[in-house]
Amino acid sequence: MGNPFRPTFGVTPPVLVGRDEQIEAFTEALDDGPGAPGRAMLFSGARGTGKTVMLNALEDAARLRGWLVISQTARSGIAAEMRDTQIPDLLHRHVSGIVRNQLSGLTVTSPVGGLGVTRLRVDDHPEVASLRSRLEILTDALAEHDTGVLITIDELHSGARRDLTVITQTVQHLFREEREIAFLAAGLPHDVAALLDHPGTTFLRRAEHYALMAVTDEEVREALQVPIEDNERTISAEALDIAAAGTRRYPFLIQLVGYHTWRADESAAEITAAHARQGVKAATRRLGRLVHEPALNSLSEVDLRFLLAVAQDDGPSRMQDIARRLGVDASYAGQYRRRLIAAGLVAPAGYGKVDVAIPYLREHLRSRPVRELT
Ligand SMILES: Nc1ncnc2c1ncn2[C@@H]1O[C@H](COP(=O)(O)OP(=O)(O)OP(=O)(O)O)[C@@H](O)[C@H]1O
Ligand SMILES: [Mg+2]
């Protein structure tokens, strides 16, 4: 039997747990028609909380309903790519020749085109207008089949702000025209927060915003046990306790712990407590390499020092202790606190307190080589 777990970013897990609420809200919104609030959703969450996998699941749900999907990762140039490549491709593959000719006519005559010209407003950006007119042709054609277009954008960040402005303004127009269109986007919390502050992307603020977080203990157990039993092995009650606790309810760790617990001894029919212990240990080591180190590498020296001061405590730290350890005043320490909260590395933990925000980051910081402490 092959290992059923999928500890790879962007790869759908064997059992996707804890996401029924969002999937249901989205599919209901597709069925309810234009104007349903769940047709625009925004997901934020730390690395490995399952943003990409969430988008994939919703794309699949849309495809099952006959919707076409335009899937993108935020970067500069995607608005033009959608307009010039992805939409023409979809038209070519799914829409009749008559409509295709409209599109080629449009390309030749003018970027604004004849369709929808009366609806254009003077403040329209030419790029918004042209992307919009193509999406109008596509949604017009799909309307005959009672389906629509889903646009998804993963890895939102402010570097792609210009393109995101063009795309979100376009989608906003199409929503207003009550077309069959849906929009989903996802990103790390501080990237999403930065974009929400930007006036060009106001539309994002109206989307239903879900902060993807830890799943429940029960869901973790299901996500571990079901793939094991589906693949003709069993896991003892004690082993399941150990493996589940080891994940700290963090989606990426469900897959990592599952994967390494499974492979501890593939010849054994039952996964034992010893296998689970070994699995958790191997998983946390890899987490350090895959998640903690990349996050720490992007920090400035002072930010790192703040984090190390937090990691000295076994639980939430009092800000006054942190300031004392760093030899700085409270308002100075407060600035680091805000920056690291925005980076998703620490989280507020009650009045005047902070705590590390990623599982095992405390342990990882404590075990880092001493030379990096200075
Ligand atoms: N709900 C879930 N149940 C079980 N496993 C999950 C769930 N969500 C995500 N995973 C697993 O966690 C890992 C990370 O998922 P994903 O790549 O979607 O995270 P992400 O939030 O997009 O991370 P990044 O910020 O790095 O892009 C994958 O191995 C995926 O299979
Ligand atoms: Mg991702």
- pLDDT 10s digits, 140-185: 999 888 999 999 999 999 889 999 999 999 999 999 999 999 999 9
Torsion of CA 328, 332, 337, 339, to 10 degrees: -130
**Burial class of residue 285 (count of CB atoms within 10 Å of its CB; 0-12, 13-18, 19+):** middle
* Closest approach atom of ligand 1 to CA 188: 25
Ligand 1 interacting residues, C-beta cut-off 6 A: 6-11, 13, 16-19, 45, 47-53, 188, 215, 223, 251-252, 254-255
Please report the pLDDT score of residue 350 as a whole number.
87
**Ligand 1 atom closest to Cα of 18?**
1
Tens digit of each residue's pLDDT (9 = 90 or more) over 312-370 = 999 999 999 999 999 999 899 999 998 898 788 898 888 999 999 899 999 999 997 75
Ligand 1, atom 11: closest residue by C-alpha = 252
| Angstrom distances, CA of residue 157 to CA of 75, 139, 268 | 8, 28, 46
Could you tell me the distance, in angstroms and rounded to a whole number, from the CA of residue 285 to the centre of ligand 2? 21
Beta bridge partners of 353: 318
Tell me what pLDDT residue 305 has: 94
Structural domain spans, the chain = 20-211, 217-295, 299-373
What per-residue confidence (pLDDT) applies to 123? 45
The arithmetic mean of pLDDT across residues 221-243, rounded, is: 98
Joined together, the tokens standing for residue 372 give: 């990096």
pLDDT, position 368 = 79
Nearest CA to ligand 1 atom 24: 47
Orientation of helix 51-64 relative to helix 20-32, angle to 10° = 40
Using the mean position of ligand 2's atoms as its centre, give its distance from the Cα of residue 153 in Å.
10
What CATH number has the domain spanning 20-211? 3.40.50.300
CATH class of the 299-373 domain in this structure? mainly alpha
Tell me, in angstroms, the distance from the centre of ligand 2 to residue 85's CA: 23
Sorting pLDDT into bands at 50, 70 and 90, what band is 56? very high
Interval between CA 227 and ligand 2 midpoint (Å) = 22
Task: Please tell me the number of the ligand nearest to residue 255's CA.
Answer: 1
Please give the average per-residue pLDDT across 108-118, as a whole number: 38
Lowest mean pLDDT among 101-105, 115-119, 152-156, 333-337: 115-119
Ligand 1 probe mutation, 55, 73, 254, 292, most atoms within 8 A of CB: 254
Closest to 48 in 3D by CA, of 283, 298, 365: 283
